[in-house]
């Protein structure tokens, strides 16, 4: 990779730290007929480990210039598709598997679109390990009451249990990025509450519309008496901000006004 030109537009920072790679692999448990999807394999540092697991590995890579490196990993259980993952129909590739995992060091500038893409694909991805910017990891795994807790925390935690595995120094990558990173593990919730998800997430967005304002000011178009009754159940009031409410409390609030 000495002559390889890293492309800023693709957010290319390749993971090189063997200890971090080992930590990722140690968190993967293959039980059944499993497909692992890797997004942005780059030069294949992680892919080399994934193909040694007892499963099929499907990689999506936007940069065809890494093909020479990935071609060296000749393996019957590896398939590489050279395209933009955000334009992929996942259902075209995931039939016939008992379990689907996503393992990826994803470009930080499209972290949210990638996660939304996976969730909205209607493919049941049971488990994900994602390398993301540390600040984003803090937000995705944040608990109510934290300054990092926001709309996307609620959105993701509706579908997945989110666990931050560890922080990762910028020195673990080449070229060295400007920010530190973190590994997060997402495990699907099989018993999530069934509601009108589109309407619910629009409601949550309204609750966080002005993050520094209280719920009374953000929900002026709703019946505040009904909302207050629910808040009182949880020892909250209309003076609380959205960042104070758990997922369950948001769902209860939503049901009260819908």
Q: What is the pLDDT of residue 4?
A: 56
Q: Please count the other Cβ atoms lying within 10 Å of the Cβ belonging to residue 67.
A: 12
What is the SS3 assignment for 146-179? Answer: CCCCCHHHHHHHHHEEEEEEEEECHHHEECCCCC
Q: What is the pTM of this model?
A: 0.90
Work out the pLDDT band at 223, boundaries 50, 70, 90: very high
Cβ–Cβ < 8 Å for 167, 131: no
Q: Which residue has the tokens 């920072």?
A: 13
Q: How confident is the model at residue 23 (pLDDT cuts 50, 70, 90)?
A: very high
Joined together, the tokens standing for residue 124 give 């049941």
Q: Is the pLDDT of residue 69 over 90?
A: no
> Across the chain, which distance is largest between two alpha carbons, in Å?
65
Task: Please name the residue that has the structure tokens 């249990």.
Answer: 161
Separation of alpha carbons 40 and 63, rounded Å? 8
Q: How confident is the model at residue 48 (pLDDT cuts 50, 70, 90)?
A: very high
What integer pLDDT is reported at residue 5 of this predicted model?
59
Q: Minimal CA–CA distance to 142: which of 153, 134, 151?
A: 153
Q: What is the pLDDT of residues 70-101, one digit of tens each?
A: 999 989 999 999 999 999 999 999 999 999 99
* Residue of 118, 102, 111, 124 whose CA lies nearest to 28: 102
Strand pairing of 14-15 and 160-168? unpaired
Domains of the chain with bracketed CATH: 8-188 (3.40.50.150), 197-257 (1.10.8.100)
Sign of the four-CA dihedral 131, 134, 140, 141: positive
């Amino acid at each position: 990779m000495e002559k390889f030109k890293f492309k800023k537009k693709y957010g290319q920072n390749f993971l090189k730290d063997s200890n971090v790679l080992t930590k990722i692999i140690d968190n993967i448990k293959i039980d059944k007929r499993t497909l692992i999807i890797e997004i942005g394999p780059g030069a294949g540092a992680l892919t080399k480990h994934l193909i040694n697991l007892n499963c099929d590995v499907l990689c999506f890579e936007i940069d065809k210039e890494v093909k020479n490196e990935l071609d060296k990993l000749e393996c019957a259980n590896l398939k590489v598709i050279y395209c933009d993952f955000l334009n992929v129909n996942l259902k075209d590739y995931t039939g016939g598997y008992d379990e689907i995992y996503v393992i990826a060091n994803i470009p930080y500038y499209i972290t949210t679109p990638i996660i939304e893409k996976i969730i909205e694909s209607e493919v049941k991805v049971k488990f994900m390990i994602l390398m993301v910017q540390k600040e984003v990891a803090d937000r995705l795994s944040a608990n109510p009451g934290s300054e990092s807790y926001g709309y996307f925390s609620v959105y993701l935690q509706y579908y997945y249990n989110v666990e931050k595995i560890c922080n990762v120094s910028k020195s673990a990558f080449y070229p060295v990025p400007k920010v530190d990173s973190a590994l997060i593990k997402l495990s699907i919730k099989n018993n999530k509450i069934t509601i009108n998800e589109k309407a619910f997430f629009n409601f949550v967005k309204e609750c966080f519309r002005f993050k520094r304002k209280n719920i009374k000011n953000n929900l002026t178009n709703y019946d505040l008496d009904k909302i207050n009754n629910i808040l009182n159940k949880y020892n909250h009031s209309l003076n609380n901000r959205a960042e104070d409410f758990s997922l369950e409390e948001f769902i209860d609030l939503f049901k009260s006004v819908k």
